[in-house]
Amino acid sequence: MLDYANLVGARALNDPAATNAVQIVLSGSTRDSAHGSLYMPKFGLAYSDTEIAAVANYITARFGSSPSNITAANVRDLRKEVSK
């Protein structure tokens, strides 16, 4: 596994509200690193609020310090923020 692709300890995954994790899944992310440009595509149009909540809950539980308990309603609210 590449060090720069490691999710363990990522700030977004250590937030029990999972706000940043959900927004990254919805909108994607691009950042520059010593290894070049890193990109994650957006999945907001491909997955439902329930599916994105399940992903956020899984990744915070698996790779974060504590699991989130985000719901489909939370994701729906975050979608509204992304679309502003």
Domain at 23, CATH number = 1.10.760.10
Please check the confidence at residue 71 and state whether its pLDDT lies above 90. yes
Which pLDDT value is given to residue 29? Answer: 84
- The predicted model gives 11-18 an average pLDDT of 78
- Count of domains for the chain: 1
Mean pLDDT of 42-65: 92
Average pLDDT over residues 50-69: 89
Which of 11, 7, 16, 26 has the alpha carbon at shortest distance from 57? Answer: 16
Of 12 and 27, which is predicted with more confidence?
Answer: 27
Residue 40 has pLDDT above 70, yes or no: yes
Query: Closest Cα partner for 10 from 36, 40, 49, 48?
Result: 40
Q: What range defines the domain where residue 52 resides?
A: 3-82
Mean pLDDT of 14-34: 85
